[in-house]
Amino acid sequence: MRQAGRSLPEYREIRGNGSILDAIAQPELAAEITLQPVRRHNVDAAVLFSDIVVPVHAAGFGIDVTPGTGPVAEHPFRSQGDLRRLPPLTADDISHVTETVDILVNELPTAVPLLAFAGAPFTVASYLIEGAPSRTYQHTKAMMHTDPDLWHDLMERLTDYAIEFISAQLSHGAQAFQLFDSWAGALSVRDYESFVAPHSTRVFSTLNERHADAPGIHFGIGCDHLLESMHAAGPQVLGLDWRTPISSARTRMGSDLIVQGNLDPALVLAGANIALDGAAKVLSDNGGHPGHIFNLGHGVQPDTDPGVLTEIVAFIHEQTATENPPS
Amino acid sequence: MRQAGRSLPEYREIRGNGSILDAIAQPELAAEITLQPVRRHNVDAAVLFSDIVVPVHAAGFGIDVTPGTGPVAEHPFRSQGDLRRLPPLTADDISHVTETVDILVNELPTAVPLLAFAGAPFTVASYLIEGAPSRTYQHTKAMMHTDPDLWHDLMERLTDYAIEFISAQLSHGAQAFQLFDSWAGALSVRDYESFVAPHSTRVFSTLNERHADAPGIHFGIGCDHLLESMHAAGPQVLGLDWRTPISSARTRMGSDLIVQGNLDPALVLAGANIALDGAAKVLSDNGGHPGHIFNLGHGVQPDTDPGVLTEIVAFIHEQTATENPPS
């Protein structure tokens, strides 16, 4: 469950009030934050405590994450000259992240894999171009259409960042990865296919070549209209938010589709009974299919009762114990 | 084009800085604001200047629209007792709106029909329950699941409001209507079907009985996953935002589907060339099908260049002149 940490008192105690990037820069702290929800909820995998802008920040673009607002770039990406601010990502740039991975691989129980994490090129590009969280993606869409060469140059760089960032985490022992295209759902199918899909496809094809054993998960919010395209980009697993029924996704993309999801996080806020009922409906929607990673359909809300999350995990383990007997 | 007025200098000049509800309360002013984009852009229909919360405000629930924020209710709807704040809507409550319609029917060219407008029960309910614009709809979803009786009681009242509000506009001479379920896209298919569809269906079935000649349009943002359900609710026309290709909608819901849409408003912000190219792609996606009302796929952004909107309208008239010869 992504962002499960932020609902925990033990997280708030050690996290501090500054930029998330400051916390990510401290390997011992970042590892501890990654471990907290694993210890408390007994989940089956750990998701690296990270942020979508970590690689562009590490490469020196000039971006920070303002608490309560999100990623903010004082000088947004608007012209050819800004490409200079995106030099190739080096191992040194992200040594704090690979150190965190080293600690986690050592401390996590062997049965609990670590999931690598990176933002997809489009979503990172939208933060660089808008300079702040946006509802319309006005400047991003304008650049796609008015200067497609510059757009694709930018996307090439960000694709390289995503590949190198995930590859480093996998080389240090992460066992699977998630590519988050959080805001791709703002695009029409036509724009996604023309301006985004080729780049996200390169992320998956390159990583599949380099790390054949590490499955990739592709996810975005409100992407129901893009699911076929996001699936075609080459992930082994398609993340679903709560909007799309798992059964509909398999009708559309094949009965062997492997999915992650998709309990509505708002139902988790409504108390244990509603949350467990919702979790049961997700399992029922999946119908005992082996290709299902149970998860929320989006990140955990900060004001979630952690006790409800623990109950959900126990319930899922209990319900699926007979489906997947321990070997 | 909805909200076309707010990009116009002549609108900003007469609108004032207060709540939109104050402007709507003045029939001469509301009629003038409705007419401004018709005059300037030569569009084929007028959309009544109104707001989703007009009927609940008129009935005395206690809600206002804060400029820059949106609808705010100091005392949100949270319990059975709050139903008292939603008495039946009377003709007197909304006499300012029917007066506006009277003026418009008199002033609009006979070839330009007036479209009635109302918020759908779910979207209005979400504002009443949350008390302010929300990203998670946490309290709304909690009420659906923890107190479905209260939820449906609330939805029954809001369904009556939508019916009476639209019916009054049609009785005074509006010739079609739009039911806006702006935020329904936040719901899973399952929740939409259980908690929303029966009520929106009643809006369309009752209005179809009372006003058989007035076609209804059903629209929401990010509702790709709900389109089949929203179509089944009974509108004559399905509004599409820019995400869903018109051709895909007809593949899914039948080749005779009548649609409204769906140029991305962000492309209109990118200048005339990009906007006209986008408009041409919408027409091409429609493929000359007679069941298409060209529109943006969402409201006009306030910082849109009105000149670009005028060019789009002229371009569409030119391109479709041979398809629909004047009789």
**A327 three-class SS:** coil
When scoring A224, A240, A246, A296 by the number of chain B Cβ atoms within 10 A, the one with the most, hence best to mutate, is: A224
Integer angstrom CA distances of residue A165 from A56, A120, A159, A210, B162: 10, 11, 10, 13, 52
User: Please, are residues A132 and A69 in contact by the beta-carbon 8 Å criterion?
Assistant: yes
A252 touching B, CB under 8 A?
Answer: no
Q: What is the pLDDT of residue A156?
A: 98
Which residue has tokens 């504002």? B127
Contacts of B222 in chain A (CB under 8 A): 185, 222
DSSP letter string, A251-291:
HHH-TT--EEEEE-HHHHTT-HHHHHHHHHHHHHHHTT-SS
* Interface test mutation site (partner B, options A69, A195, A230, A243, max chain B beta carbons within 10 A): A243
The answer, for A302 touching chain B at a CB cutoff of 8 Å, is no
**Both tokens assigned to A321:** 């114990």
Q: Locate A109 and state its tokens.
A: 């129980």
Q: Where are the beta strands (DSSP E) in chain B?
A: 46-47, 64-66, 70-72, 114-119, 176-180, 216-219, 237-239, 259-263, 292-296
For position B323, what pLDDT does the model report? Answer: 58
CB of A251 within 8 Å of a chain B CB? The answer is no
Chain B CB within 8 Å of residue A72 CB:
no
| CATH code for the part of the protein at B9-239 | 3.20.20.210
Residue A327: what pLDDT? 44
pLDDT level of residue B6 (50, 70, 90 thresholds):
confident
Tell me what pLDDT residue B1 has: 78
Chain B closest CA to A215's CA: distance in Å? Answer: 27
User: B248 to chain A: which residues are within 8 Å by CB?
Assistant: 189, 225
Condensed to tens digits (0 to 9), the pLDDT of residues B92-121 reads 999 999 999 999 999 999 999 999 999 999
Q: What residues does CATH 3.20.20.210 cover in chain B? A: 9-239
Q: Which residues of B are less than 8 Å from A263 in CB distance?
A: none
Mutation target to probe the B interface, by most B beta carbons within 10 A, among A188, A248, A263 is A188
A301 and B190 within 8 Å at the Cβ level: the answer is no
Q: Give mean pLDDT, residues B247-270.
A: 97
Q: Kindly tell me if the per-residue pLDDT of B12 is higher than 60.
A: yes
Q: Using the predicted structure, report yes or no on whether residue B68 has a pLDDT greater than 90.
A: no
How far does A164 lie from chain B, in Å, by closest CA? 31
Angle at A200 between CA A196 and CA A203, to 5 degrees: 155
Contact A189 B137 (CB under 8 A): no
In this structure, of A223-232, A273-282, B164-173, B296-305, the range with the lowest mean pLDDT score is B296-305
A85 CB within 8 Å of a chain B CB: no
Smallest Cα–Cα separation from A46: which of A134, A127, A117? Answer: A117
Kindly state whether A173 is in contact with chain B, defined as any CB-CB distance less than 8 angstroms.
no
Residues of chain B with pLDDT > 90: what percent? 91
> How far is the alpha carbon of A188 from chain B, nearest alpha carbon, in Å?
4
A267 interfaces chain B, CB cutoff of 8 Å: yes
Q: Within an 8 Å CB–CB cutoff, is residue B269 touching chain A?
A: yes
**pLDDT value of position A17:** 87
Nearest CA in chain A to B269: A138
**For position A321, what pLDDT does the model report?**
87
Whether the pLDDT of residue B61 is over 80: the answer is yes
pLDDT band for position B326 (cuts 50, 70, 90): very low
Look at residue A285 in the predicted model and tell me its pLDDT. 98
Cβ-nearest to B188 among A142, A243, A271: A243
Residue positions of B annotated with a catalytic role = 2, 6, 15, 51, 127
pLDDT for position A324? 55
Q: Which residues of chain B does A189 touch, with a Cβ-Cβ cutoff of 8 Å? A: 243-245, 248
Whole-number Å distance between alpha carbons of A276 and A281: 9
Q: Is A301 near chain B, with CB under 8 Å?
A: yes
What is B155-189 written as a DSSP string?
HHHHHHHHHHHHHHHHHTT--EEEEE-TTGGGS-H
Pair type for strands A237-239 and A114-119: unpaired
Q: Sheet holding B46-47: strands in order across?
A: B46-47, B114-119, B176-180, B216-219, B237-239, B259-263, B292-296
Judge whether residue B324 has pLDDT over 80. no
A191 touches chain B (CB under 8 A): yes
What whole-number distance in Å separates Cα of residue A36 and Cα of residue B290? Answer: 59
Interface confidence (ipTM) of the complex: 0.92
State both tokens at B216. 């209804």
Interface size, chain A vs chain B, as Cβ–Cβ contacts under 8 Å: 94
pLDDT of residue A270: 94
Residues of B in contact with A188 (CB under 8 A): 242-243, 245, 264
Q: What residues of chain A score a pLDDT lower than 70?
A: 322-327
